[in-house]
Structure 1
Amino acid sequence: MRAVDIIQKKRDKEILTKEEINFLLEEYLEGNTPDYQMSSFLMAVYFNGMTTEELKYFTEKMIYSGDTIDFPGTHKFLVDKHSTGGVGDKTTIALAPIFGALGMGTAKLSGKGLGHTGGTIDKFESIEGFKFSRTKEELIKLVNETGTGIMGYSDKIVPLDKKLYSLRDVTATVPSIPLIASSIMGKKLAVHADAIILDVKVGSGAFMKNIDEARELAETMYELGKAFDRNIVCFLTNMDQPLGEAVGNSLEMIEAIETLKGNGPEDFTDLIYTLASQALVMKGDTADLESGKQKVRKVIENGQALDMLRKFIKGSGGNPSVCDDYSLLPKAKEKDVFRATKDGYIEHLNAELIGRAAMMLGAGRATKDDIIDHSVGIIMCSKVGDKLEKGAAILEIFHNGNLRDEVLETLAEAVVISEEKIDKQEIILEIIGG
């Protein structure tokens, strides 16, 4: 068996066998297949795709290229909710404690933010003293006590994915749907979960800019999950404007806490209730989303969900009093207001540009080695569809004296005001497999 023959088969749109895929990936991992041959294979996949069976074999090899993780000491129904990334996406902070209050749990790997999208780890680390679990034993203890267990990604999990992604990044093959699906699902399937909920973002602030591509990715990941006999559902959700109102680490922590108090923005609250209800349906506790939402509402109103967040913060070395005293979180020294230049309706709040502006303030990283400022960020005073008068506040900008013209110019480009009435945007666009 030779790598060149396998590349030729994929080039000619023939279906590869499990043995051929295993051979190619094993040889590449061991350094026997050079980058130029693997680059040719990735380009062939980019143009010709993969069948579900091919993708299963490809992903299976990715999974077992490193460690797999299970949680034998847990006694909870474990849900892994994964988002493809967006601006203002603080979903895990609010959702995980709700899972805990409903008798479920989440044990997952999360990452730091890069570029205009924020990372769950960064948001929690805005709490002084907070440290994520460093061992599986610590994670299991927290899951059993609070319903929430989060660790950072390890180089030992799916190392083949890291090697392939570096090559995809320099060969223009990152946008390949099968390769994206395998990269995401390889990491999901390497970690045990009783249910997987995928939140595929769509719009200006997402990796997938249009709904057709996002739907194709979601359907591919769904079919891949089913091929591994996993309990999986995929959501397509709106990321054409930022999620909720807050963008920036400590600001997003506050918004997530307020949501657990029943005071969250409408779009973010709707997403949280729906995802939590979907988990209840997948567990078998409720028959449909509406009855699930009643259970979610109950643990919000009686304070059980917020108590779970307090316990998780305390168990992670942080001060749980941040849930009641926001002055314990980093706070920017200055605030400026971005105002409407004319009467009208907000037609667009470009999520990518707003995320980029927040990054310029220090809320995000341009490179993985950048140090972020947890205190800075942007608050949306208005959302798409809102009616404004000239001079009304659209955005509040929290900064530490570094409000450059470039930030204001980026925000001016992000905000579009129309004279025509604009409909408000739905947060959940489609559900695949629910």
Structure 2
Amino acid sequence: MSILPNIMFAVILIAGGGYFAMNLKKIIRNIKLGQDVNRSDNPSARWKNMALVAFGQKKMFARPVPAILHFALYTAFVITQIELLEILIDGLFGTHRFFKPSLGGFYTFLISFIELLSVLALTATVLFLSRRNLLKLPRLNMKELMGWPMKDANLILIMEIILVCCIFTMNGTDEVLYNIGKSHFEGQGSFGFTVSQHLGPALFGNLSEGTLHVLERAGWWGHFIMVMAFLNYLYFSKHLHIIFAFPNTYFANLNPQGQFDNLQSVTNEVKLMMDPNADPFAAPAPDADATPAKFGASDVQDLNWVQLLNAYTCTECGRCTSSCPANQTGKKLSPRKIMMDTRDRLEEVGRNIDANKGVFVPDGKSLLNDYITPEELWACTSCNACVEECPVNISPLSIIMDMRRYLVMEQSAAPVELNNMMTNIENNGAPWQYNQMDRLNWKDEA
């Protein structure tokens, strides 16, 4: 037997795996550009959160029909990796259905189960394509999805269909070959796979032995090549959530949704102001050469690494935007666009670093203004609807609030109404133009 196919298989596997590893390394490098934040607390709660939200897809089931379809796709994707493992062994060592002799009847059950899941996945994929392109579901046809994002979503679904077709071509032709004693696998009889034992003879039963062997190999190689293509396409696609949903849910914020973080430098100053016994000169003098800390965020490097991980994890499903009250009332804000813009800017910064031998050269652009406008940021009501809706615990609100913080504390660029309110609080101790004592004058009129 020629070892050339095994060599070709190994070359494709190494090249595909190497290219994926190289791109994954770039993504991790980009995420590490963010500011440090400690998310190592309460590991038991974090593991539980990941199990329920990422593995169990708990938040998806708020909408049962798409949730069931997505769960079918997700389960098929996970379980099919068992068959992929067998293909890797067969491809490297020249075997055929490596696990069948040792697993016996359980092997038939396992592949049959994979086939049933594949049928469900194929059904879900066709429905998702129809919903996106024929039914024109509003949240899947918004302005920020026009162009590449729409093509990306359709392309990945088409790849899923091709992958399933390869599985049934491989199993169906092998079933027919096995029935006539011409399979690569030694022995007679039928595999008895639940779907292929019927689909194989119906589609391929009248073909010649030579054609069957060609189609079986085409399905087998097609399955492997599609997996390699899919793996490396992830880098350019929104479907990175297949990988990053798990760390994203693990490192998600466990604090109550309405709780915001405080800037430590501001907190320290306030404590000094409120403590009559504090010595304002007791703190060490700041380093004259140190770069002053920035209040808030104007570019991706000012965000923390979890927020950048959020950007890469975004599925672009639009549940956040469809539940956003600002967006529903015609405001410019779209939480999905906030995440997409953050990822696009982060990718631009990454390409800048690659082009300049590992060093970022200022390009005169920033996330604020060049990607996200102040109008979008100030439209947010900070209601947390987007955070509640996200199926993988992404927080667009945290990015919005950090960028607002920059506008207020670094640029003094808050809207007039907000500036008036803050001035009133500073002067009167209340948001209104009269002080708190005046508010109690009504009691003297009784």
Higher helix share: 2
Query: Highest CA radius of gyration, 1 or 2?
Result: 2
| The two structures share one fold, judged by TM-score above 0.5 | no
TM-score by length of 1: 0.24
* Structure 2 length-normalised TM: 0.23
Structure whose residues are more often strand by fraction: 1
